[in-house]
Amino acid sequence: MTMNIISICILGVFTAVSSIALRKHTPEIASLMLISCGVLVTVLYLPAIESMFDSINTITADSSINSDYIRILIKSLGICYVTQISVNICKENGSMSLASQLEIAGKLLVLLPSLPIFNDIIKMIYDLL
């Protein structure tokens, strides 16, 4: 099932507003409602991600771009998204310190898969000199 961004945003805004009303009386349920909505939104945009991967595979196959670079880019984007979602959940629940630690961990873990690209760039520069 494919939903457009307007429907997804309406769902998100409705959940956020509803959680504000619930937070006064049952903060646990409000947090669970927000997390559940986040999971639902993720499930709703998974078909778009699958389509994006198909397009990236087609572009990669038709060009001379190294598929390892594309794989590294996608892995880094995935790390960024998962980190951002986790940080937002922690901030929403008042765990600012944990959110900061997750941000640092995410930044370091994005660097790790990128090291082969840095290595190739350094080799190219060295070959030019």
pTM more than 0.85:
no
Whether residue 51 is predicted with pLDDT greater than 50 in this model: the reply is: yes
Whether residue 55 is predicted with pLDDT greater than 90 in this model: the reply is: no
Within a domain: 55: no
The pLDDT-based confidence of 3 (bands split at 50, 70, 90) is low
Top-confidence residue, 49 or 22: 22
| Secondary structure letter of residue 65 according to DSSP | -
Look over the chain and give the mean of its residue pLDDT values, rounded to a whole number: 87
**Same domain membership, residue 38 and residue 6:** yes
Top-confidence residue, 66 or 122: 122
Distances (CA, A) of 76 to 4, 12, 115, 125: 26, 25, 11, 24
Give me the pLDDT at residue 49, please: 82
Within a domain: 127: yes
What is the domain count for the chain? 2
Within a domain: 29: yes
CB atoms within 10 A of CB 115: 10
Q: What is the largest CA-CA distance in the chain?
A: 67
**Same domain membership, residue 127 and residue 100:** yes
Whether residue 1 is predicted with pLDDT greater than 60 in this model: the reply is: no
